[in-house]
Each structure stands twice: as structure tokens, then as C-alpha cells.
Amino acid sequence: MIIANIRGKSEKLLTPLTIVIILTIWFIATTLKLVDPKLVPAPQSVWAALLDIMRNGYKSHTLPQHLAASMQRLVAAFLEAVVVAVPLGLASGYNSKIRAIFEPLIEFYRPLPPLAYYTVLILWLGIENESKIALLFLACFAPVYISCASAVMKIKEDYINNAYALGANKWQVFFHVIFPACLPDMFTGLRTALGVGYTTLVSAEMVASSSGIGWMVLDASRYLRSDIVFLGIVIMGITGILLDKVIQIIEQNIVPWKGKE
């Protein structure tokens, strides 16, 4: 027990230690000018860029406004994808006919690069937020759908047959056997979808945008403002971790038995 506690405490120290090592290497490399400052800015430059944008904003928008614009697009698309993909994925896993209808379509567009069909979405929905949210929706949809469908299909038939043997009807089997058994894989799909959606955010903000963290990074890169580019990357990384942590907390409360079978 004591050894386990010591091991747990040492593992918790690994994350901050890793961050400190990376920052130290970054600081030393830039201070000694081992890298071009136009390509890799010093940590002090990134911090100065953060303070400047917090005070003066970037291109007529404050940093919170850029972040809020990106989060609005991402969260709206993610929630819409969850509402549609979860029931459709569960139904596809439960019914082979539904799966035969939707799975080929999803498997067709899933490997496509987002920019390959973004122009089509712009033609259909315009250059405002609707096309951006639609792009993020499609990016988030496939991982959620696939995780839900595969979770249903891998449930042991013995569980379902035992429920029927005890007198349960189809709805009772679904809500009391199938759905709870799918929750662990479902949350894995949600976390994956959020990550994929965030990586697609920059593509979504490439066209006709004037706000958003992804747009800020792209715009700064045109002027070789690597300090702002690095700042945007750090902000996206931190917010991505926080959003993922929110899903993990929800999962821990809804699926407390995960990993304890």
C-alpha cells in the first residue's frame, strides 16, 4: 500500500516535470540563439504577446472574444453531433438495416480532408458561421457514430438473452442492458470527436472569418508573427485539455464502473 502511494505521487510529478523540462529547453535554445527567433520565438516573446493582446486585442477583437467565437462554433457543432450521432449510432449497431443505410455514407466522407468539402458547404450555406459549424459537425459526427455503433455490436449476446429470459421487452433491454454497456465506448468517442473537431477548427476559420483563435493563428502566420502563432497554439492546447477534462468528469459520474470490471 505504501509503495503504491509513493508510486502514485511520483507519477503525478511526471507531468509538471515534463512541462518544466520542455520550457527549459525552449528557453535555453532561444536564449543561445540555436534557432531562428522568427521560427521559434522565445518564451518571453510569447508572454509579451499575451500581455499585449490582453490589453490591446488583435485585429479589433480581444483575446476573450477570439476564444469565445471559436468555442461557440466548436461547442455548438459538438453538441449537435452528439444529439444526432448517438441515437443514430446506437440504432445502427442494434439494427443491421439502419447500419446498411448510413454506414457507407459515413465511411465515404470520414477519410476526406475537411478542406475537400468545405468549399461545397460554403456554396450551400454561405460564408458565415453556418458553414463553419456544419464543417465541425461533420468532423465530430463520424467518431461518435462509429464508437456508438461498434459498442452495441460488441455486447455479448448472453447479456441480451438473459434479459429476455427474465421477461424484459426490447425497450427494457435497450435502456437497461445495451445503453449502459455502450457508455464507456461512447465517452471515448465523444473525447475523440472533440479532439477531431478542434483540429478542424482552424480549417473552419480559414474562410471569411475575422475572429477566432484559429483565425488569429492563421492571420499572424501571414505576417511572420511567430509569437502570436505560438500563443494561439498554447491557448488551443490548454482549452482542448480543459474541454476534454470536462467530458472526463462527466464520464466519471455517469460511468463510475469503467475500468473496474
pLDDT at position 98 is 92
Burial class of residue 10 in the structure, from the number of CB atoms within 10 Å of its CB (0-12 exposed, 13-18 middle, 19+ buried) = exposed
Tens of pLDDT along 170-209? Answer: 788 888 888 888 999 999 999 999 999 988 988 788 777 7
The most confident of the ranges 6-10, 58-62, 164-168 is 58-62
Tens of pLDDT along 28-44? Answer: 999 888 888 888 999 99
Phi, psi of 4 (to 5 degrees): -65, -40
The most confident of the ranges 4-8, 37-41, 141-145, 181-185 is 141-145
C-alpha distances in Å from residue 37, one per residue of 23, 25, 31, 44, 181? 15, 14, 9, 11, 52
What lies within 8 Å, CB to CB, of 259 at 6+ separation is: none
Q: How far apart are CA 162 and CA 166, in angstroms?
A: 6
Q: How far apart are CA 245 and CA 255, in angstroms?
A: 15
pLDDT value at 10 more than 70 = no
* Sign of the torsion formed by the C-alpha atoms of 184, 133, 207 and 124: positive
Domains of the chain, with CATH numbers?
Answer: 57-254 (1.10.3720.10)
Q: How far apart are CA 70 and CA 199, in angstroms?
A: 12
